[in-house]
Amino acid sequence: MDFLKGAKDFARNPLGIIALFISLIYGFASLLLDSAAEKLTEAERWPLIIFIVIFPMMVLVAFYKLVTKHHGKLYAPGDFKDDKSFLRTLSPEEQEVRLEKEVKESFGQTKTNHIDGSVEPGNQAAQERNKQDEREKRKEEHRRFRQELEKIETQVIDRIAEEHGAKAERNVGIGSTDANFDAFLSSDEGRLTFVEVKVLRSPAPAMMMLDRVLYGAVVADKYFGSRFKLILAVVYYFEDDDLERVERIWRRKLSNCPANIELRFIPRSEVEDA
């Protein structure tokens, strides 16, 4: 009974399950060698002896890789005193990659790659100049929109944080997973509320953008259960007449997601320029 009680305690997290599995295998091998050593031939004993000697070294190597590269996956949520222990601030490199991805998702909805067709095919120099001018123009537009996107995110997050009476912690990730959000609303009530801001420059639904948000929400929901909530704020540039179709598609997609997600659509005109 004591063994079963101890096994139950071990099985509460991945680290305990691994330890229990290793103990059982090593224990059975040692027990077999000890109890049946006299009945086994020399050829039958050697594999057991080699296993008992090599197995601990294999376990050491495996644990070294787990602890150094995947330590965040070795613990269950119950091993932490506070659910916030799972939160981490994204590194500057991760923030840069994340922002660039969001710019491309939003900016890419209305980009065009057309070059003026009036240039004669034989005039290679003129064609190259046109292409270079187009690239420079797009690069500058990309830079301006990136700055605008950062201001929009700041304004929307501050507004929602003020609404909830909470402090917003920017650019947070969930443990060692790929799930990350624009902000976490930290309050005295201990609510696990996250904020994600997206920008739609055109009525295109941008399903890839939404799928990435839903994936992160599902991963976070597995960590925090019913305590997790995501406020998805979508800032749109187009007319309200075009919003109905986009909102219908997005809400239908969200209805199939098990995570608790609150969807808000905010016109660009309501977001102040910082």
In this predicted model, what pLDDT tens digit does every residue of 81-103 receive, in sequence order? 455 557 888 888 988 988 888 88
Query: According to the model, what pLDDT value does residue 134 have?
Result: 83
For residues 98 and 90, the answer to whether their CB atoms sit within 8 Å is: yes
What does the chain come to in residues?
A: 274
One domain for residues 102 and 211: yes
One domain for residues 73 and 105: no
Number of domain units in the chain: 2
One domain for residues 106 and 31: no
Long-range contacts of 105-108 (CB under 8 A, 24+ apart): 105/198, 105/206, 105/208, 105/209, 106/145, 106/149, 106/198, 106/199, 106/200, 106/201, 106/209, 107/141, 107/142, 107/145, 107/201
One domain for residues 73 and 88: no
Tell me which of 52, 79, 106 is where a domain ends.
79
Among 9-23, 149-163, 198-212, 220-234, the range with the most confident prediction by mean pLDDT is 149-163
Interatomic CA distance for residues 174 and 172, integer angstroms:
7
Query: According to the model, what pLDDT value does residue 67 have?
Result: 67
Q: 117-121, 257-261, 262-266: which range is least confident on average?
A: 117-121
Q: Residue 220: give the domain boundaries.
A: 83-270
For residues 196 and 233, the answer to whether their CB atoms sit within 8 Å is: yes
Q: What is the mean pLDDT of residues 112-136?
A: 65
One domain for residues 92 and 74: no
pLDDT of 142 strictly over 50: yes
Burial of 145 (0-12, 13-18, 19+ CB in 10 A): middle
Query: According to the model, what pLDDT value does residue 3 have?
Result: 44
Query: According to the model, what pLDDT value does residue 6 have?
Result: 52
Tell me which of 45, 79, 113 is where a domain ends.
79
Query: According to the model, what pLDDT value does residue 223 have?
Result: 79
SS3 74: coil
The residue ranking higher by pLDDT, 233 or 201, is 233
Interatomic CA distance for residues 151 and 202, integer angstroms:
19
Q: What is the DSSP string of 32-61?
A: HHHHHTTTS-HHHHHHHHHHHHHHHHHHHH
Q: What is the mean pLDDT of residues 127-154?
A: 85
Interatomic CA distance for residues 108 and 199, integer angstroms:
11
One domain for residues 114 and 188: yes
Query: According to the model, what pLDDT value does residue 267 have?
Result: 94
Per-residue pLDDT reduced to its tens digit, 216-241: 999 888 877 778 899 999 999 988 88
One domain for residues 198 and 217: yes
One domain for residues 167 and 52: no
pLDDT bin (cut points 50, 70, 90) of residue 202 is: confident
Tell me which of 79, 104, 136 is where a domain ends.
79
One domain for residues 221 and 235: yes
One domain for residues 54 and 111: no
pLDDT of 158 strictly over 80: yes
The residue ranking higher by pLDDT, 53 or 80, is 53
Among 47-56, 127-136, 163-172, 187-196, the range with the most confident prediction by mean pLDDT is 163-172
One domain for residues 24 and 52: yes
Q: Which two tokens stand for residue 237?
A: 């540039």
Average pLDDT value for the chain: 79
One domain for residues 134 and 166: yes
Query: According to the model, what pLDDT value does residue 54 have?
Result: 86
Interatomic CA distance for residues 108 and 271, integer angstroms:
21
Query: According to the model, what pLDDT value does residue 8 have?
Result: 53
